[in-house]
Each structure stands twice: as structure tokens, then as C-alpha cells.
Structure 1
Amino acid sequence: MNDILHESVFTPLENDRKALSDSIRGRLIHSLGKDPLSATERDWLNAVSLAVRERMLERWIFTRRNYQAADAKRVYYLSMEFLIGRGLVNAMLNLGIYDAAREALAEFGVDLERIEELEPDAALGNGGLGRLAACILDSLASQCLPGFGYGIRYEYGMFTQEIRDGFQIEHPDTWLRYGNPWELPRPEALHPVRFYGHLITHYRGDGEAQHFWEDGETVYAMPYDLPVPGYGGGNVNNLRLWSAKASRDFELEYFNEGDYIGAVEQKNVSENISRVLYPNDASQAGRELRLKQEYFFVSASLQDILKRHHDDDHTWEALPEHVAIQLNDTHPAIAVAELMRLLVDEHDLTWEAAWDITVRTFAYTNHTLMPEALETWPVELMSRVLPRHMQIIYDINHRFLNEVRHCFPGDQDLLRRVSLIDEDHGRRVRMAHLAVVGSHHTNGVAALHSELLRNTLFNDFYRIMPARFVNVTNGVTPRLWLHQANPGLSRFIDEHVGQEWVHDLNRLTELEALADDAEARANFREIKLANKRRLAAYIERTVGVQVDPQAMFDVQIKRIHEYKRQLLKLLHVVTLYNRIRDGHADDCAARVVLFAGKAAPAYVMAKQIIRLINDVADVVNNDPLVGDRLKCVFIPNYGVSSATVIIPAADLSEQISTAGTEASGTGNMKLALNGALTIGTLDGANIEIRDEVGADNIFIFGLHTDEVEALRRNGYDPMNHYRDNPQLARCLNMIASDFFAPDDPHRHKAIVDSLLYEDRYLLLADYAAYVQAQDQVDQVFRDKEEWTRRALLNTARMGYFSIDRTVQEYARDIWGIERNCASQR
């Protein structure tokens, strides 16, 4: 067996233009059955994708052989989201065949850039959580680390967003309409996943209880594998996504009675589990489907991991030496109970042995500081859908609370606070508590976030087990967010520091000396202008608004949420609008304010914010007194592909969440890496960005975390700011009136009322400081040389925020995995 592992059974494919041309033509004819003379652009897209996939699969096989031969410890990254985006350009760049493929296609009269745009985004995520997961997989492969992802193959990804008459309209994201050339279906590797049913308990002769989960409904999880290529000779790892398949295609009784619809109804219900990303959980049915989704992918993944471990002839006790499992947020937290079920019920381990294995195997990444964002499930729902897991959670809780009671005798309030069952809000299972108790490490994703986890959200757990809490600050992949998204800047960096920066982002520090070089600044500025022209063309093509590339591009691109404070940015837009109309902005820089992001379908206030942005934009953009001095644009259907156009063109990055609410952010890193200056609060990773780029090269404003807490604790009255600040009052009055909504004067009253009478995220408290900071932004931007100097320094000093550094810290401090590079003969 060892000889086979170390010996190639096929000849590696060549990667020059001629070989790629032959491969593309071969795939077009023999795989797709298309005539080169009549093939469409989509046919060519699929043909070149298959040709590139061939080359990935070679290295994928060698990678798996190498891991197996070395008996390498592997990390498995469990995430409900993987925002992987398009695959073709990423794969070609990582494999080093982009130019050869472009030349090969040109022989057939095909423009690679045209067909690139036909590939759909694999929008299997909502935002930063899913994009971070994709970046981590990229880094694992690029650094030759044994790591794999597990998630759900959603038939419909994050919805497609249309803006119609200012409203967000959601459409199904049919990303699989034309198939997916990157995935490999594995129908031979099904795993059963059970729901509902009831428990039967038997007692063995030694008095130990044995629990049997009987009856219920079984759904099969079918895997689809997506190769994940590392950059520049790295490994090719795997992302395995699960699709739900009914256990029985037909109910024979219904079919025999001629009721075809009834016969397939159960099939459709079962397969709904993997139908859509984040079903609306405003209804009981939606909540139940969401819980089933989470358990479905967790159970299938753990069964898969255990099978691989067993096939490698390892004992169950050795699982933590060979397997590390990372829980990406609370969505996969049910994995703690599921691994206990598998070890105790299916593999006959004692509770004590299974618990020791479970805790040493799992680690948990927390992504939110807001208690309302931490998942909880009604005990009634959990007991009905997953009866055995509810029993296991009770047992975990009982044993954990006994330990706490022993260490902190008499502290009943502590027991209530750390219990896995929340008794104060209708008996709910606290999934974050389950993840913390069942993991050997819990990490935050920025220094401030981790500090606040220890001191606030999980302070009780930190008192009980302080060694389990660590920080791992997020990062972004330079492969996508600079090398691929910004080829002009990438070439500039290559010329001055070489190409190793793609693997070692700290090499960017060598650019610092160029900040004082007038010629280098001019070149840097021209690259930014070219990117702005590309974005301007995209805006005109997408929303029909013409913008001036010479203006400041002021960008806020992120999920629409009140705590991210798009409303604060919009108040500034109205403020600028009033200044221009009053004749008080003649010396100010022209500005294009860009918003993009999706609101959750059930999040009413977020959707109202989108409507207000578009109403304000409609007035501002059509006012002849304003002209090109101010434009406001909402770019619809924000995703990975549109981000790669927007981010390289941004001048100013808006990171203005209320201090203490944003865990980290990764958009702030991508924008600064591409030479945008940040305006932001001291929240999330903004603090560490300030420390890296220098306080003079970032615009910080607003209340600090302790000031936010003090203000809330002492009683905050937003009306005081309304009364004391005429500029702010004017903006709010305009929004509350018919000024921006002449057809519906009360359309935005609810937004203004929420600010005046609650202002949960302290927009009005930070408004004056924000406007003052924006005035400083304007002053610096008008000095082109100074702005460019600061922008170049931002790029030069962002090396710390590489996802490679993040993954190295995970690998060293949490997972215990080591480099293992595949060799290809």
C-alpha cells in the first residue's frame, strides 16, 4: 500500500498554452458534446472550468495521499456559511495558469474576461462569517495545512436582491441553474440523519443505562466535494457540502391510490432541508427547519469524520490526536451533543471517556457580542425534533453545574447564569453555552472582541475556566482581495517588493519608503483612478447613475443592520446635501457615497433603511443645485464579485459601528489593504488597524466602549442631541417630513422615532463627532499628495491582517496541526 501511495499512476497534465488549448477543446467536445464552431460563451466557460478542474484534481489526489501516508492530524471547519464566490479566476491564479488559459481561449476567439462574468457567485453565505470561512480554507491549502470544510449545498444561496421603487425585493438565487463544474457528487457516501421519534432506555446488568432512539424520520445526506486550490504549488484541500435526499422517493400507498402529489410530498419536505440558506425563522415552521438544517449538516459531517478516523485504524480514544473540529459560531454547536451521542450510543464508550474526547476535539469561534444574536432553541422544539440530544444536553448541564457548584458553593445566581438551559425566557437551550462547555478553546476574532467576551458576555465561564479563552484576530486572503481583485496594485507591489508578498503579506512593509516618493505616489494614484473608472462604469451599467471618478469614493458595504449604522452615514449625506444647497460647501471635495448590502428578509427596520437610502439618493442625485458635488448610490445584490470591483476603487472606508458591537469585521481589512483610509469607531478590528497603520493614517471618532456602557447605564436621552444640535435636528426633520418621500409623507417616521425615543446604537450621540471627523477627511482628501501618502502607508502596513497569520495562530495554539506539502511526480 505504501508503494502505491508514493507513486503516481498517471502522467501529470501540462500547464502551457498548447496543453490547455487541447484540454479546453477536449472538454468542450467530449464532456459537453458541443461543436467549437457553434459553442456559446457559457459552453466555453464550462469547458475551461473542466480543463482547470482536471489540473486541480491531480494535485487533490496527491494531497490526500500525502496526508494519509503521513497520518497527518487534520482540522475540520464546520460552518453554516461558505461565501466562496466564483471559482474560475481564483483557481487559475492559484494554479499559476491564468495567462496560459487566456491565450488558449484567444485561439478559439474567446475573451476570458467576458466569460468570467458568466460564472455565478456561489453565495452560500450571508457576509463576513461565510467569507472568513472561505478565506480560512484558502489559507489552509496555500500553507499546506491539512484542513477541510463542511457545510450545506444550498440549492438556493443568499437571495438575489433587486431594488424596485427603492424597496428591497428578494428573488431566489438560482446559482445551480447551469450546473456547477467544480463539484464532484458522491452518491456512494450517503449518511443517514434522523429527526423526531422517541427514546427507549434499557439498563444493563451493571446498572448503566442504554438509550435507543427509535422511529422518527430519516433523511440522507449526500456529499458534494469542491476542491480548494492553494496558491503557488500549495495543496488542494476539500470543501464537502451536504445535500438532503429523501430516504424513500415515494410513499407506495399514496402512489397506488393514484395520488402522485401525496406520494412525493414527503420527499419534497425532506429535501427542503438543504433548499435555502437561512430560512425565515419568524414562524414556527421556519425555526424548526433552521434547527433541522444545523443538525443535518453537523450529523453528516461527524459521521463522515468518524468513518475516516475508523478507516485509518485509529481508536476512538485517539480521536483528539488525529482530529480537530472548529465550530464557526453557534450554528454547529449541536455537534457537541451529536459527538457524545455517536460515541456513547453508537460506539459504546462510557460517558466520561466520550466527554473527555469531545472536549479535546472541539474548539469554538464566537462572532458576536450581542446576546440576542446568540442562538437559543426552545426546549419543547429541541425535545420534539432531537429527543436524544435534549437528553444529552440535560446530562451535560447536570454534570457541569455540579462542578461549578463544587467550586463556587452557594452561588445560585452563577449557576443560573451559566446553565445550558435558560429558565427565564420560556426554557431555552443556550447553544453558545453548549459550545463553550464542550470545547477546549473559545476564541474571539479581534483583541477588543476577545477582551469583551472575557469581561462581559462569557465572564462567568472565564472565571470558571480562564485557560480556555484566547484571541485570534481575523484576516483576509491576499490571493483574492488584492492579487485577484486589484491587478494594477498587485503589479505595482510586484515591481517594488517581488512576488513573495502573496504568500507573506508582511513583505508589504517594504513599500513604506515609497510613501515619500512623488513618482511612486503618482503611480499609486493612477492605479486607484483606473479602479474608480471601472467602478464608475459598473455603477452606470447597474443603476444608471453617472459618477465622477475624480470625486472621493466614500464606501459603506456590509450587511444592513442597525448596529452597523448605515443611518449615521446617511445622516451625514443629508448634512452635506444641506451644506451644498446653503452655499456652505463650495470648497469641499466632490463625494460619491456608495452603499451596498442585503437586509434579512424578516428584518423590517433594515429594509426600511434601504428604502430611505434610495429615497435620499433619488432627491440628491437629481437636484441641479448639487450636480456632481454629491452623489448617493445604493448598489444592489452585493456579493463577492461586486466587492472585487468596489473595494479596489474605494477612497474612504466606513467602519462606524457602535463601539462594543462589531466582533471584528473583515471588510475594514480588505479596504485598507487596497489603499482606502478608514473612518471608524474604536470597535472590532479597527483598534488593531489603527495600531498597525498609525493613528495619523486613520480617522477615529466617537464614544469608546466604556463610554457607551456608562451612557447606557446612567440613562441616555437621544432627544438632548436633537434639541442641542440644529444641524442634526434639521436632517431628522427632513427625513420625518415629506421631503424625501413626497408621495408618502409618513414613510420614514418610524426610523426617526426609533432614533429620537430609543437610539439603541447611539447614532445621535456620535453624530457631531462623526461630522467633525468627516470634515477632517475632506480637508486631507483635497491635498492629493498627502492623501496618497496615507493611502500607500495603509497598504504597506496591513500585513498583519493576512488570513495566513490568522490560520497559523489557529494551527499552533488551537488545532495542533502541521504543514504537510504534497509532492507531485
Structure 2
Amino acid sequence: MNTLEPGHLRGQGGVAEDDVRTACEPEALKRAFLDHLLYTQGKTLEIASHNDIYLAVAYTVRDRLLRRWSHTSSRHKRHGTRTVAYLSAEFLIGPSLGNNLLNLDITDALRETLARLGIDLDELVRREVEPGLGNGGLGRLAACFMDSLATGEIPAIGYGIYYEYGIFFQTVVDGWQVENTDKWLRFGNPWAIHHPEWGVEVKLGGYTEHYTDDVGRFRVRWVPEKTVWGTPFDTPVAGYKVSTVNTLRLWRAEATEEFDFSVFNRGDYLGAVNKKVTSENLTKVLYPNDESHQGKELRLEQQYFFVACALRDMLRILEHRGLPVTEFPRAFAVQLNDTHPAIGVAELMRLLIDEYLVPWEQAWEATRATFAYTNHTLLPEALERWPLELFKSVLPRHLEIIYEINRRFLNEARIRFFGDESRVFRLSLIDESGERYVRMAHLACVGSHAINGVAELHSTLIKEQLLPDFYAMWPEKFDSVTNGVTPRRWVVLSNPGLAALATEALGDEHWIRDWPRIAGLEKHADDAAFIERWQRVKHTNKRSLAALIRDETGVVVNPDSLFDVLVKRIHEYKRQHLAVLHIVTRYHRLKTQRATDMVPRTFIFGGKAAPGYVRAKLMIKLITAVADVVNSDPEVRDLLKVVFLPNFSVSKGQCIYPAAELSEQISLAGKEASGTGNMKFAMNGALTIGTMDGANIEICQEVGAENFFAFGMSADEAQRLLRSGYYPRDLYRDDAELRAAIDLIRGGFFSRGDAGLFEPLTNDLLNEDRYMLLADYASYVECQDRVDAAYRDARQWSRMAVLNCARSGRFSSDRSIAEYARRMWHTSALPDTGHGG
């Protein structure tokens, strides 16, 4: 279901007039653009700024989206199909202009129109400011899923937060990450439509009162300490060459009373706007640093805020459709994207039992039929827990509801596991092992009818290691849906050279909506002419990335070198420092003249460290410190370059993935849930060097082990080594190359003689090595030598690259969404069989 009411955007002239106004022929586009430039921006072409022109173009495109949006809304209401409500703290949607032009199929028409006016459409697309609405894989997955839901014509609404500043804009100063304010809204956002009339009041803090109402029913009243007002910003999400346009609905916090006139008149000018300031803090920035109590409180309030707004909004839609509240699970399938929105289980129960007076048993049945939960982590410490006192101070009524859910659930568990109180203790929604916590993953498991992992290995480990007691209780709830990414964004938009080559080789563009058809490229893998064209496309992409690197960092890299890329969130389990150990080893070989016929390489890193994650920031410093030394050494710079590209984003990803030749996916096996960057690389023909972790396993199975550089321990082998006793210092003592690499780092060679700078990293590797870098080091370095050998045969390397692309058909988000729809959401496509634009 979409949420613009039928006819909301139509004039008295009806559909025919609407069609004329939003026609897509060049003349109609020209008229619309010039109208928006004058009547929306108040400028003529002669005096318009770049941003004026961009906004006028964006509004011209948005008009065409809104027509389809209105028709989609009418169709969804008319048919009453179950709507997917995708709840996510992040939606890393990337720049919108190019994507919307592609999906509306008007890129060429608009390019021609603007060219006649002396405007370069490609320059507008390149310079578009990217929304700061996500951090990494979780948010980008949500964006890919929204694209695939619309392309598959499945009714859907994405719910999240309209962050004013996003996470942060990363710069690197003297090798250290510096977080700057990401002012992505500074020049406006033409794609979002504000709907204050659909605002929602959200309560926070306070206490509860228990009483009996006039007819003798037990009731609970929540008396809040404060209330904030949430208003939605709607962004239309178009499917590829279909009439369906779904909704991304993001919520901004506002004060219920923005200006206190009486306080102002008393001379307290700051106090007069205090409520406005404190309320708006709620949606200022993505993921506030939660090292402090205040940071934890704000993060919990953020999560509750958008979930409360979303569920209230769904109830509003239900009422608009004339359906009783008991029909909620038939109207909506709500997907929890990780534990951030898990509070939705308690919130829906609160709404049903407190405000709609639905009996507990009926409310609980409806709640469990509504929610499904996707787990995205195998790190126990990443499963959200909230200190009980903090939770009670922010959400007192929800804690009471969670206690009651837990009481009933544990009674059920005691019967199911008779006499096993230790298991009951582990299952509890309240962690009682020390300081008491609310376990959000447990709440999501108990309150959902389906639980899934995001790769085959991940889903197995969830059942065996992460949530084994829940699996023993409800094995039927557990499922696996491997992640996917949209080929529209990550091939067609990012790699137009490859897209054109694929269309020519396959004979049509059907592969864009049906990515498995890309398998047709396999028959061209031994065609010399095709391989030559493939290589030209790759080299063009590498030159583009080399230019970006020069502009951003000042480092000049050789496009003829092997582009070895590791771009993802900076985290110890992702093991960027293992890649650094390999770089230092190569450098040591070159300096000691033990390297023979080394292939020239450019190592490219990118990614952000969480502001409070000191060790991850030190890893960035290590990368940049090694880069400073290596890049300035005239003896090696023709064979070895190291680059850290700051502020990795969707826009930069669109330049990086097509240019990459080697994709680094080197997490310790058993730690990465899935990965999606690995899929983007493979789709663009990069070969993977990786552990058998997450979706790497499935990529290796699909592309063939001979076209994949596998190294390191399996998850089982890593666990066995830990159980038998893991002593990393022994590996350091016995491996001369490893010892030489670590000694260069710990001795201060890369830190201007400061031997203590990287001591926290090296001490950890030698004494604990939690993510077992040293155990995988020798295998990794040997595998990298195999990469060198393979790259020397350019024709064979390109053949392997073509096969990686051709055999990546499984990794489209279209396939992921089809599996969710069939197995968990029990909903289906609702295509436009009539007029749809």
C-alpha cells in the first residue's frame, strides 16, 4: 500500500491532463524544467546557479514520479493487498537523480533536452549531494531492498529517520579520522515531500498509572515526562520501467510547542526555544556516540521514536482503508532490519492493549503474526542490550509490557524444557547475569513469526551458536535469505561501459530486471574480441578512479597496476590490519631484494570508524602511516602504492566497484554475517580474495573455486583452534616474514620513530589476537602470491573476471525480495494492468 490518498495529486482535469503535464518527450521536459526554474526557483537560465539548475531538473523528474505514485496509491487501496513495512534505522539511498532517470527510462530524453540549453546532465548527476541517511551495509541493503520491492511491484513502505546531519563527513588529518558535520540538507532536498498533517505525538519518560475504568476493565495510563512531535518526509521510490512507485517515509522530530511566548516575555530568550532544540536533537544525527549515558539514552529514544511514528502511521492507514485494528497483520507485514526497531514488538502491544483495548492474547497473536526479524550480526556484543534503569526511565510502560511478555514466554519455556532452568535463564528477555539489561534480540525473536540470517553460513551459526536456545524452542521460525544488491544502481548506473557491453552481447536489456540472465556472458569468456572490449571498459573505469584518487588525496596511481580494493566499515573483525600486514610484507620483500617479478599493485582502502571506536581509528592511522612511507619511497613506488580514500559513500562506491580488480573480503570466518560489497565487486567483474565467511562461500560456489582466491581457516577450524588453545605469539616467533612485518610497525618505522603509537594494535595481535589475524597470515600472503601469478596472464585474468560477473546472478536483491515475499511476508506483486504511466 502506498499512502498518498487517491487523487491527491490530480487536478480537475483528471488523468488526461495529468499525463500531458508530466509527459516525457523532450519538449515537455524542456517546458517543465524552465517552469520550475522560474516558478519554483525564481531564476532565469541566465542567472541560475548550478544548484538552481539541479533543483529545477530534480523537480521536473519528481513530477513524473508523483503521477505514478498517485496511481500506485489508488491501485493499492483498491486491491487491499498486504503491504510490506520495512523498518530500518538506516536507508543509505545514495544520489537520486541518476537512479530515478534510469527507472523512469527518461535519461536520454532529458540529456538531449538539457544539452540544447547548454546544460550537461552528467555533470549534474556527478555533483549531486548524497543523503546522509546511513552508515554502511545495513543501510545500503535497505535501499537496495526498496528498489527491488518497487521493481517487483510489491506494495511497500520503508520507515526510518530523516536525519538532519547523517552520520558524519570523514576527513583525514595527519592520518587520523576527523568527523565533520555532514550538512547534506544545506541546499535542500527536492525528492522528499513534508506531510506535517500526518504528524504523530511520541511520549518519552515519565511513569505509569494503573486504574480500573468505568466498566471495570484494568487499564494503564502512561504519563510522559515529555512529548515530541514526529512528522514524515516522503520520498517516492520508483521501480525499474514499471508504473509502481512505493514510499520511503522518514520521520523528523519537532517540539510540540516550538516557542514559549511567556518565557520569551520574561527575558529568557534561550529558554523560549529550549523545547524546540531538545526535541529536534532526537533526529539530528545518525548513531550518536553511545559511550556516555546521555548518548545511550538518545540512541534508545531515536529507535523508539521512528518505530512509534511508523506504527501509528500504519494504524492511520488502516483506519483510512476502513479496516478494524484486528486486521493489522493482514494489512501489514513488518520487517525488523536488525534489532534497532525491535522495540516495535512492545510498542504494537502497547497500542493494541492500552489504546484499542484489545485483549492480551488477541493482541499478542496479532503482534507475532505481524513482525519478522532479520539478524545481521554474529558478534554477541553487537546484539543490542539496554540497561534496565535506562530503559525504564525512557520507556516505563514498555518495560512493564516486556516483563509480562517475558513472564508468559518463560512459563512456556519451562514446559518446553522441563527441568532445564539454565536454558530458561538464557532465554529470558532480561539479562540477569550482572547489571540487568533488556535483550532486544530476544524481544525480536519472541515477538516475531520468522527469524532469518542473511547468508547460508550465517543462518547456520545463528541456529548453532548465536540463538541456539530459540532455535531449539521454535525451529520452524528460522530461515535463511542471502542478501543481494540491485544491479540497477551497481552495474547500470555505476558501470555504463559494462552495461552497454552486456546489452550488446545478450541482445537486449532484459538482464537489468532479471539479473540471472547475465549468465549469457559466459559463452563470450573465450571470445578474444569480447575480452578485448571487456579490458577496455575496465581500463576506462580504472582511469576514472585514478583521477578521483588524485583529486581527493593528491596520490598519483598507475591505472596499469592491479587495483586491490578493501572498502567497508572499519572494524577489527573485518581485519583491514591483516591487509596492512601483507602490504608491509611486500614492502619488506622489495627493500630486502627478496621480491622477484612482483606485480605492480595499488592498494585502495576506504571506510569509516565509529566515532567512539578508538581501535578502529588507530587502524586508519596505521593504513595512512604505511601509505606515507611506501608512497614516498622512490625504490618501490612503481610497484607499490597505498591509498586511503576518505569519506567512502555510495557515490564513491559507484566509481570504485567498477574499477576494482581484486576484492578483499578477509574477515575471520564465522564473523561476517553476509557482506554486500562482495556482491557489488563480483557483479562488476572483480575477483575475490576471501575467507570462507558470510556470502563469500556462496560467491565461491557460484563462480567456481578456480575463479576465487580462497584462504584461511573455516569457521569450524577457527573454533577448534580456539578450543585447543590459541597462542599468537608462537606464530610470530616461528614465521620470519610475519615477525619482520610486525617489528617494523612496533619499532616505529611507519610512525616517525614513535614506537608506542601502534602498540595497542601490535600488543593485541601478539597477546590475544581476538580475530586471529596471525593464524590466517601465512595463508593470506601465499594466496596473494597466487593473485600475482594469475594477474600476469591478462587474458586469463579477464576470462576469470567475466565468469565472476556472469555467474553472479544469485546475488541480486530482486531474488532476495522474492524469497522474503514468498516465505515470510506472504505477499505478492500487484502489477498495474491498466493505466500506470
TM above 0.5, yes or no, is yes
How does 1:495-506 map onto structure 2 within 5 Å? 495-497=504-506, 498-506=508-516
Distance, in Å, in 2 between the alignment partners of 1:54 and 1:234 is 14
| Aligned residue type for 2:74 | R
1:737 correspondence with 2:747: yes
Query: Structure 1 regions of 5+ residues with no counterpart?
Result: none
1:10 correspondence with 2:20: no
Counterpart selection for 1:359 from 368, 378, 382: 368
1:45 correspondence with 2:54: yes
1:584 correspondence with 2:591: no
- SS of match in other structure, 2:231: strand
Once the two structures are TM-superposed, the CA of residue 204 in structure 1 deviates from its matched residue by 5.3
Worse-matched range after superposition: 117-126 or 436-445: 117-126
| Aligned residue type for 1:824 | G
Counterpart selection for 2:36 from 22, 27, 32: 27
1:760 correspondence with 2:760: no
Distance, in Å, in 1 between the alignment partners of 2:623 and 2:6 is 64
1:110 correspondence with 2:119: yes
Note closer, same or farther for the CA distance 1:215–1:530 as it changes in structure 2 (3 Å cut).
Answer: closer
Once the two structures are TM-superposed, the CA of residue 315 in structure 1 deviates from its matched residue by 2.0
Counterpart selection for 1:193 from 189, 197, 202: 202
Once the two structures are TM-superposed, the CA of residue 3 in structure 1 deviates from its matched residue by 11
| Aligned residue type for 1:74 | T
Distance, in Å, in 2 between the alignment partners of 1:696 and 1:457 is 32
Counterpart selection for 1:331 from 340, 343, 348: 340
| Aligned residue type for 1:592 | T
1:455 correspondence with 2:467: no
> 2:106: which partner in 1?
97
Once the two structures are TM-superposed, the CA of residue 317 in structure 1 deviates from its matched residue by 2.2
Once the two structures are TM-superposed, the CA of residue 16 in structure 1 deviates from its matched residue by 1.8
Distance, in Å, in 2 between the alignment partners of 1:307 and 1:43 is 36
> 1:560: which partner in 2?
570
Q: How many residues align?
A: 824
Counterpart selection for 2:72 from 63, 69, 72: 63
- SS of match in other structure, 1:110: coil
> 2:606: which partner in 1?
596
Q: Is the 8 A contact 1:594 1:635 kept in 2?
A: yes
Once the two structures are TM-superposed, the CA of residue 76 in structure 1 deviates from its matched residue by 0.3
What is the aligned-residue identity percentage? 50
Distance, in Å, in 2 between the alignment partners of 1:234 and 1:761 is 48
1:213 correspondence with 2:222: yes
Q: Is the 8 A contact 2:7 2:70 kept in 1?
A: no
- SS of match in other structure, 2:84: strand
1:678 correspondence with 2:688: yes
> 1:302: which partner in 2?
311
- SS of match in other structure, 2:333: strand
4+ long deviations beyond 3 Å: 2-7, 203-208
**Deviation string for 1:5-54 (max 9, x for gaps)?**
99736331221222111111111011110111111111111110010001
1:147 correspondence with 2:156: yes
Counterpart selection for 1:240 from 245, 249, 254: 249
> 2:129: which partner in 1?
120
Once the two structures are TM-superposed, the CA of residue 254 in structure 1 deviates from its matched residue by 2.5
How does 1:507-656 map onto structure 2 within 5 Å? 507-656=517-666
Distance, in Å, in 1 between the alignment partners of 2:225 and 2:617 is 39
**Deviation string for 1:688-736 (max 9, x for gaps)?**
0011101110011101101111111222110011000010000000000
Distance, in Å, in 2 between the alignment partners of 1:735 and 1:627 is 19
1:74 correspondence with 2:83: yes
| Aligned residue type for 1:364 | Y
> 1:657: which partner in 2?
667
> 2:799: which partner in 1?
789
> 1:487: which partner in 2?
496
**Deviation string for 1:217-254 (max 9, x for gaps)?**
11000110000111112411000010001011133442
Distance, in Å, in 1 between the alignment partners of 2:552 and 2:558 is 16
Distance, in Å, in 2 between the alignment partners of 1:324 and 1:337 is 16
Distance, in Å, in 2 between the alignment partners of 1:281 and 1:584 is 48
Distance, in Å, in 1 between the alignment partners of 2:224 and 2:656 is 52
Counterpart selection for 1:227 from 233, 236, 246: 236
| Aligned residue type for 1:788 | S
- SS of match in other structure, 2:259: coil
Counterpart selection for 1:393 from 393, 402, 412: 402
1:824 correspondence with 2:831: no
Worse-matched range after superposition: 776-785 or 117-126: 117-126
**Deviation string for 1:639-670 (max 9, x for gaps)?**
00000000000000000000000000000000
- SS of match in other structure, 1:259: coil
Distance, in Å, in 2 between the alignment partners of 1:10 and 1:583 is 76
Q: Is the 8 A contact 2:587 2:630 kept in 1?
A: yes
Once the two structures are TM-superposed, the CA of residue 516 in structure 1 deviates from its matched residue by 1.1
Distance, in Å, in 1 between the alignment partners of 2:434 and 2:602 is 46
**Deviation string for 1:415-472 (max 9, x for gaps)?**
1100000001300000000000000000000000000001111110000011000000
Q: Is the 8 A contact 1:63 1:821 kept in 2?
A: no
| Aligned residue type for 1:8 | V
Counterpart selection for 2:389 from 380, 386, 400: 380
**Deviation string for 1:538-572 (max 9, x for gaps)?**
11111011111111000000000000000000000
| Aligned residue type for 1:815 | W
Distance, in Å, in 2 between the alignment partners of 1:673 and 1:664 is 16
Once the two structures are TM-superposed, the CA of residue 824 in structure 1 deviates from its matched residue by 2.4
- SS of match in other structure, 1:683: coil
Worse-matched range after superposition: 99-108 or 385-394: 99-108
| Aligned residue type for 1:442 | I
Q: Is the 8 A contact 2:699 2:808 kept in 1?
A: yes
Distance, in Å, in 1 between the alignment partners of 2:275 and 2:537 is 56
Q: Is the 8 A contact 2:607 2:647 kept in 1?
A: yes
Q: Is the 8 A contact 1:123 1:639 kept in 2?
A: no
Once the two structures are TM-superposed, the CA of residue 378 in structure 1 deviates from its matched residue by 0.7
1:469 correspondence with 2:485: no
Distance, in Å, in 2 between the alignment partners of 1:126 and 1:804 is 22
| Aligned residue type for 1:209 | F
TM-score if structure 2 supplies the norm length? 0.97
> 1:668: which partner in 2?
678
Counterpart selection for 1:724 from 717, 726, 734: 734
| Aligned residue type for 2:604 | L
- SS of match in other structure, 1:82: coil
| Aligned residue type for 2:349 | M
Worse-matched range after superposition: 315-324 or 399-408: 315-324
Q: Is the 8 A contact 1:658 1:681 kept in 2?
A: yes
1:435 correspondence with 2:444: yes
Counterpart selection for 1:772 from 782, 785, 803: 782
C-alpha RMSD of the superposition? 1.4
Once the two structures are TM-superposed, the CA of residue 630 in structure 1 deviates from its matched residue by 0.5
- SS of match in other structure, 1:122: coil
Query: Structure 2 regions of 5+ residues with no counterpart?
Result: none
TM-score if structure 1 supplies the norm length? 0.98
> 2:271: which partner in 1?
262
Counterpart selection for 1:411 from 413, 420, 425: 420
Distance, in Å, in 2 between the alignment partners of 1:709 and 1:184 is 51
Distance, in Å, in 2 between the alignment partners of 1:758 and 1:116 is 47
Distance, in Å, in 2 between the alignment partners of 1:779 and 1:546 is 25
